[in-house]
Chain A
Amino acid sequence: MEKIEKILQEIRPEFVFTPETDLITEGILDSFDLITLVSELDKEFGISIAGVDILPGNFCSIHAIRELLKQYGVEP
């Protein structure tokens, strides 16, 4: 299991995640989960995701999160 998926599974173990699952419109992540997710990604990859990047579009799927992390020089 890749790191992003593992983090998501720890935050919301009741859901099944696929790379295409829409995490926002499917109601899988709410605002509180998003804060937890950002914090876990920061910790896991040693980065600090900026406020301007904390937009639903950047966290709407595993694929979108992966693309965001690439902008921080991380290859998850």
Chain B
Amino acid sequence: MIQRIRQISELQASLQRFSRAGNGATTTWFASAELSQQWIESDALLFEPFDDCLLLFRRDRDFYHVYHVAATAEALSAALATLDSATFDVAITADLIGRGEALGALADLYAERGFAPYKSLIRMSRITQGASADDFVDPEVSVALPADAPAILAFLERLLDRFAEQIPEGKELAEACVRQNVLVLRQGTDLGGILYFENMGQTTILRYWFVDKGFREQGIGARLIKTMFRHCHSGRRILLWVISDNVSAIAKYQRYGFTIEGLTDQVMIKQGGEWKR
């Protein structure tokens, strides 16, 4: 039976009970405690326990993400099979993260249970040498304020693929603005481009870097990313995920010193409706 998660302790207890227990165990649940707490507070997180497997569901706009923690492939397969009779009448996506054959086997398992490959993302990283801060200071690139969050969210929702690119919720974005993790470059009253990054110790995660279609080829993206490099100059690496067939974006990242790591996020989707009660 699918239940709503009301407290972080409830989630932690469930995860520990069903967490990895030997070889053959897999998980797709990588959310931080802070992010989990935000999802719980917005009533977006559900779970269903099975023997040796836990399924978690997160409501996101008009669809759900499914995550699993499973002790064995058989337990996961049995749990996913029950989705055929679930009450969801919307799309469900799963982000399967891994490498090589192990990732392929997991994707095959989801495919056997009615999920189809949707898109894949690859992780890229840029190792910095630390110490030397780029002197580049661009007076037109500013830190977004919390009041800017609704406009930035609308901008992201217009440009991003909601099934594949993990668009943040409004509250998450507003908090990122408070932490000064969102850079904007305005063109008159319009947003020319935005860059959203997160710092975690010596690692920076470049979450979104977009220039509005009407303002491309004007160097806006370069100005934003150079400003970010200045903001995180003391770190050791910068990570990002990019859609694997976005050749031009990958080439652009490579020009800025990012290299492909070999970690893949295979997004699978099960369209809603077919098993609606």
Q: A15 to B237, alpha carbons, bound, how many Å?
A: 9
Smallest Cβ-Cβ distance to A48: which chain B residue = B22
Out of B20, B97, B203, which one reaches A54, CB within 8 Å?
A: B20
B13-65: which have CB < 8 Å to A?
15-23, 25, 27, 30, 32
Q: Mark B234-277, 1 if CB is under 8 A from A, else 0.
A: 01110100000000000000000000000100000000000000
B87 at the interface (CB under 8 A from A): no
Taking a contact as CB atoms under 8 Å apart, the answer to whether A26 and B263 are in contact is no
Interface SS of chain A: loop
A74 at the interface (CB under 8 A from B): no
Interface SS of chain B: mixed
A4 at the interface (CB under 8 A from B): no
- Given known contacts A32-B263, A51-B16, A54-B20, is B27 in contact with A26 (CB within 8 Å)? no
Q: Which chain B residues border A48 with CB–CB below 8 Å?
A: 21-23
Taking a contact as CB atoms under 8 Å apart, the answer to whether A38 and B20 are in contact is yes
Taking a contact as CB atoms under 8 Å apart, the answer to whether A27 and B201 are in contact is yes
A22 at the interface (CB under 8 A from B): yes
Q: Which chain B residues border A25 with CB–CB below 8 Å?
A: 200-201
A52 at the interface (CB under 8 A from B): yes
Q: Mark A9-31, 1 if CB is under 8 A from B, else 0.
A: 00000110000001011111011
Q: A22 to B203, alpha carbons, bound, how many Å?
A: 13
Cβ distance B47 to chain A, nearest Cβ, rounded Å? 15
Taking a contact as CB atoms under 8 Å apart, the answer to whether B21 and A30 are in contact is no
Q: A25 to B204, alpha carbons, bound, how many Å?
A: 12
A1 at the interface (CB under 8 A from B): no
Count of interface residues, chain A, beta-carbon cutoff 8 Å: 20
Smallest Cβ-Cβ distance to A24: which chain B residue = B201
B7 at the interface (CB under 8 A from A): no
Taking a contact as CB atoms under 8 Å apart, the answer to whether A28 and B97 are in contact is no
Cβ distance B243 to chain A, nearest Cβ, rounded Å? 18
Q: Which chain B residues border A38 with CB–CB below 8 Å?
A: 20
B111 at the interface (CB under 8 A from A): no
Cβ distance B48 to chain A, nearest Cβ, rounded Å? 18
Q: A28 to B203, alpha carbons, bound, how many Å?
A: 7
Q: Mark A38-72, 1 if CB is under 8 A from B, else 0.
A: 10001000001111101000000000000000000
Q: Which chain B residues border A49 with CB–CB below 8 Å?
A: 20
B159 at the interface (CB under 8 A from A): no
Out of A24, A30, A51, which one reaches B20, CB within 8 Å?
A: A51
Out of B19, B23, B204, B236, which one reaches A52, CB within 8 Å?
A: B19
Taking a contact as CB atoms under 8 Å apart, the answer to whether B18 and A27 are in contact is no
Given contact pairs A51-B21, A51-B25, enumerate 14 new A-B contacts (beta carbons under 8 Å). Answer: A14-B236, A22-B201, A25-B201, A27-B203, A28-B202, A28-B203, A28-B236, A30-B200, A31-B32, A32-B30, A50-B21, A51-B15, A51-B69, A52-B16
Q: Can you list 7 contacts pairing A with B, beta carbon distance less than 8 Å?
A: A14-B236, A27-B201, A30-B203, A51-B15, A51-B16, A51-B21, A52-B16
* Closest 8 pairs (CB-CB, A-B): A51-B19, A27-B201, A27-B203, A26-B201, A27-B200, A31-B30, A51-B20, A14-B127
